[in-house]
Amino acid sequence: MSNEFSDVPDHTRRIILKGAAGLAAFGFTAGALTSAHATADAKAWPADAFKQKSEADALKALYGKSAEASDKVNLDAPEIAENGAVVPIAVATTMPGVTGIAIMVLENPYTLAAAYKIPEGTEASVACRLKMAKTSKVVAIVEAGGKLFSATKEVKVTVGGCGG
Amino acid sequence: MLRKTLIAVAILAGAAQPLLAADKASDPKADFKAFREYFTKRFPKVALDDFVNGPYSMDAGLRKQWEAIDAFPPYDFVVDKGKQMFAAPFKNGKTYGDCFPNKGVGIRQDYPQFDAKSGQVITLDVALNNCREANGEKPFDYNKDDMAALTAYMAFTSRGKPMNITIPKDPRALAAYKKGEEYFYTRRGQLNFSCASCHVQNPGNHIRTEVLAPALGIMNAMPIYRSTWGGMGTVSRRLRTCNSQVGAEPLPAESDEYRNVEYYLSYMANGLPISGPGTRP
Amino acid sequence: MASTIRVRAIASGDTTQVQSLINHPMDSGFVKDSKGQIIPPHHIEVVEFEHAGKVVFTCLWGPAVSKDPYVKFSFKGGKKGDDIKVSWVDNKGQSDSTVAKIQ
Amino acid sequence: MRTRTIIRLAMVVSVAGFAGAAVAATADDFKVAYAKAEAAEKGAAAVKNRWIATEAALKKAKAEADAGKFDDAVKLAQHAEALANASTAQAREQEKLWPDAVIR
């Protein structure tokens, strides 16, 4: 089973070792700037889907259909967010033929938080960090074989991530 | 009527007074032993070196989120900025490295220090500003991002190195230590809290929405990137926030009281690894 | 100018795990500044990861993605020494890109 | 215990501060009340224990006086004075009490 966090057996040791390793990593991206020319395609952004205020509307705008709950969708989210500004969320599935993953936060001003396109050869697993305005259900959507599957988990937020 | 109550309180306070501060001779070594025993006995499951991870040493749910975030922490950019700032020469061609032993790399664990010349405690932040001024540069604001970035980088180069605070045989050094201890245990603000109320008596417990960090090793994680701030903050910024949270007007950054309490707490953490820059909710 | 993009790509067997952190405010448009003025939305919309001329992962992000966003995914086919190209574009049309080596 | 008394005291003060005062207060009344509050707060500053609430009450008192609302201004100044005195009493008390809290 893939778990975003299980590959960290001994944190104390790791954090100490990281001092040296992290330093070595400094700037290794800097020199590469000149050879980079590819630019992300702004037209790929589904503006309409990101404006929706319900799960159903967002799904319709993004995929044009609705989702069914599935225990094969693995949503890893904290029970209580340490801070709504940075909530680590991971979604993974063992289903075949996955083409997309989306994450929704139902109580946020806009429901859809992030969507990912998964081409063939890329694993159906993603981890990211999201903002949550308040306690909310988080819904993970997996698009596989032309169908949508979902998993839901409530995340309690005591310190909201929308500032103020 | 009111005034009478006030007087009554004052008399009450003055009368029942079993212990006097003066009765207790300052013995940092004995304090150190008692302090350490208190935390290790109260939290037998927390590894000694783990106390430096603050609330994450106390709460499994928080820890998991921290580990996920710390795997590629948002403060990476701040540390990088600090590194560049640290290497950039002043107008006179010298650098921060010229002000410190070992060119300033891997030395954070030696601060704060007692400075015999000024008779005061010098924190890393103060040492950095002293360095700037000695080289004809304006000092940084102790509460702001530039100082946070510089100290974050310096802490980063000291990751894992044991805190190494000395109290030289100088009555002024001992007095500074003692003043720091006093500040730590003195209740203040409208809420009538001391630093110890939260960080000795209630580590691991929630206060409003936060899980309180243990006092042991609390300075080892400084400076800290707080999600609440959305950025890296200095020791000064954190201490001033602590004051505000108990309804006390914060003191000026790096005032005697703050430097002394940092001295006291850092001495208590001797031997524990530097974990800064830390992340906190 | 330092790159806004950090990449850690590590090959293990036939799978490459990619982690990336991007320096970006990701202003949601719901937060006020110290003067009480709404900070207008400013967030990354699209991030693309390319390997060997093929897009291996695309992020479509709204304003709810955290400041200095992070993402982790894995793909098959990469090997040590290969280039990974990362590029992003935000709602103001700003963009950045970088190339990193798979470790 | 004793430390709690101070907190309770501060609460009592805030209630008492807003009660009473049948006769309308004047600008001079405010000046007197404000001067007393400021003096009390100076005492708190001398023992490095100003409270945020005191500063806020002082500020608000001044604003009310500037707006010509002397009744409220006087009450707020008295409130600030009581808070300042309570914070000073807290600091004096703690000068003696803090060693009791030290881990031994």
Strand partners, A122: C75
**pLDDT for residue D22:** 54
Contact B94, B132 (CB under 8 A): no
Give chain A's radius of gyration (CA, Å).
Answer: 18
Q: Check D6 against B249: CB less than 8 A apart.
A: no
CATH 1.10.760.10 domain locations along chain B = 26-73+163-280, 76-157
For residues A11 and B167, give the distance between their C-alpha atoms in angstroms, rounded to a whole number.
32
Tell me if chain D has a CB within 8 Å of the CB of B88. Answer: no
Nearest to B153 by CA among B184, B125, B112, B193: B125
Q: Check B63 against A11: CB less than 8 A apart.
A: yes
Q: How many CB pairs under 8 A join A and B?
A: 75
Mean confidence (pLDDT) of chain B: 91
Q: Where are the alpha helices (DSSP H) in B115-274?
A: 124-134, 145-156, 171-185, 195-199, 235-245, 256-268
List pLDDT tens digits, range B20-40.
Answer: 444 456 799 999 999 999 999
Contacts of A129 in chain B (CB under 8 A): 68-69
List pLDDT tens digits, range A104-125.
Answer: 999 999 999 999 999 999 999 9
Among A2-11, B57-66, B208-217, the minimum mean pLDDT is found in A2-11
| CA distance to partner chain C, nearest, from residue A39 (Å) | 5
- Give the other-Cβ count within 10 Å of B23's Cβ: 8
**pLDDT for residue A40:** 81
* pLDDT for B227 beyond 50: yes
Per-residue pLDDT of chain A (164 residues; tens, 9 = 90+): 344 333 333 333 333 333 333 333 333 333 333 333 457 887 889 999 999 999 999 999 999 999 999 999 999 999 999 899 999 999 999 999 999 999 999 999 999 999 999 999 999 999 999 999 999 999 999 999 999 999 999 999 987 665 43
| Count of structural domains, chain D | 1
Tell me if chain A has a CB within 8 Å of the CB of C10. Answer: no
**pLDDT for residue A162:** 52
For chain C, the chains sharing at least 3 beta-carbon pairs closer than 8 angstroms are: A, B
Contact B234, B148 (CB under 8 A): yes
Q: Check C21 against B76: CB less than 8 A apart.
A: yes
Contact B243, B251 (CB under 8 A): yes
Tell me if chain D has a CB within 8 Å of the CB of B5. Answer: yes
**pLDDT for residue B25:** 61
The one-character DSSP state at D23 is S
* pLDDT for B17 beyond 50: no
* pLDDT for D19 beyond 50: no
Tokens of B65: 């989120």
Q: What is the enclosing helix (H) or strand (E) of B14?
A: helix B2-15
Q: Check A118 against C47: CB less than 8 A apart.
A: no
List pLDDT tens digits, range B101-111.
Answer: 999 999 999 99
Contacts of B71 in chain C (CB under 8 A): 19
Per-residue pLDDT of chain C (103 residues; tens, 9 = 90+): 578 999 999 999 999 999 999 999 999 998 888 888 999 999 999 999 999 999 999 999 999 999 999 999 999 999 999 999 999 999 999 999 999 999 9
Helix axes D70-101, D2-18, angle to 10 degrees: 180
Of the residues B131, B195, B198, B242, only one is catalytic, namely B242
For residues D71 and C70, give the distance between their C-alpha atoms in angstroms, rounded to a whole number.
57
The one-character DSSP state at B224 is E
Angle at C92 between CA C87 and CA C94, to 5 degrees: 35
> What CATH number does domain B76-157 carry, 1.10.760.10, 3.40.50.720, 3.40.50.150, 3.40.50.300?
1.10.760.10
Q: What is the enclosing helix (H) or strand (E) of C48?
A: strand C44-51
Mean confidence (pLDDT) of chain D: 85
Cβ burial, residue A81 (10 Å; 0-12/13-18/19+): buried
Chain B residue with Cα closest to C25: B230
Torsion sign, CA atoms B178, B261, A15, A6 = positive
- What integer is the mean pLDDT of D24-51? 95
Q: Check A162 against C30: CB less than 8 A apart.
A: yes
Helix axes B2-15, D2-18, angle to 10 degrees: 170
- Give the other-Cβ count within 10 Å of B25's Cβ: 8
The one-character DSSP state at B52 is G
Q: What is the DSSP annotation of A28-72?
A: TTGGGGGG------GGG--TTGGG--SHHHHHHHHHSS--EE-TT
* pLDDT for B51 beyond 60: yes
| CA distance to partner chain A, nearest, from residue C1 (Å) | 8
Instruction: Let me know if domain B26-73+163-280 sits in CATH 3.40.50.2300.
Output: no
Omega before B112 cis (within 30°)?
yes
Chain B contact probe: residue of D9, D58, D97 with most B CBs at under 10 A: D97
Q: Which domains does chain C have, with CATH numbers?
A: 5-101 (2.60.40.10)
Chain A contact probe: residue of C7, C14, C45 with most A CBs at under 10 A: C45
Contacts of B2 in chain D (CB under 8 A): 12-13, 16, 82
CA B15 vs CA B3, D97, D100: distances in Å = 18, 12, 15
- Give the other-Cβ count within 10 Å of A116's Cβ: 25
B242 is known as an active-site residue: yes
| CA distance to partner chain B, nearest, from residue A57 (Å) | 30
Chain A contact probe: residue of C19, C20, C30 with most A CBs at under 10 A: C30
DSSP-derived pairing of the beta strands A112-117 and C54-61:
antiparallel
pTM of the model: 0.83
Q: Which domain holds residue D74?
A: 2-101
Q: Which residue has the higher pLDDT, B215 or B11?
A: B215
Tell me if chain C has a CB within 8 Å of the CB of B88. Answer: no
| CA distance to partner chain A, nearest, from residue B253 (Å) | 25
Contact B55, B212 (CB under 8 A): yes
Helix axes B171-185, D70-101, angle to 10 degrees: 120
Nearest to A87 by CA among A134, A53, A123, A40: A134
Contact B6, D16 (CB under 8 A): no
Strand partners, C12: C15
List pLDDT tens digits, range B170-187.
Answer: 999 999 999 999 999 999
Chain D residue with Cα closest to B190: D51
Q: How many CA atoms lie within 13 A of A128 on its CB side?
A: 30
For residues C7 and A29, give the distance between their C-alpha atoms in angstroms, rounded to a whole number.
7
Contact B79, B152 (CB under 8 A): yes
Contacts of B72 (CB under 8 A, 6+ apart): C6, C8, C19, C20, C21, C70, C72
**pLDDT for residue C32:** 87
- What integer is the mean pLDDT of B33-58? 96
Omega before B223 cis (within 30°)?
yes
Contact A130, A103 (CB under 8 A): yes
Tokens of A74: 């693995």
Tell me if chain A has a CB within 8 Å of the CB of C11. Answer: no
Q: Check A27 against B80: CB less than 8 A apart.
A: yes
Q: Check A22 against B156: CB less than 8 A apart.
A: yes
Chain B residue with Cα closest to C26: B230
Contacts of B65 in chain A (CB under 8 A): 78, 81-82, 86-88
Scan residues 25-64 of B and list those with Cβ closer than 8 Å to D.
Answer: 31, 34-35, 38
Q: Check A122 against C57: CB less than 8 A apart.
A: yes
For chain A, the chains sharing at least 3 beta-carbon pairs closer than 8 angstroms are: B, C
Q: Check C62 against A112: CB less than 8 A apart.
A: yes
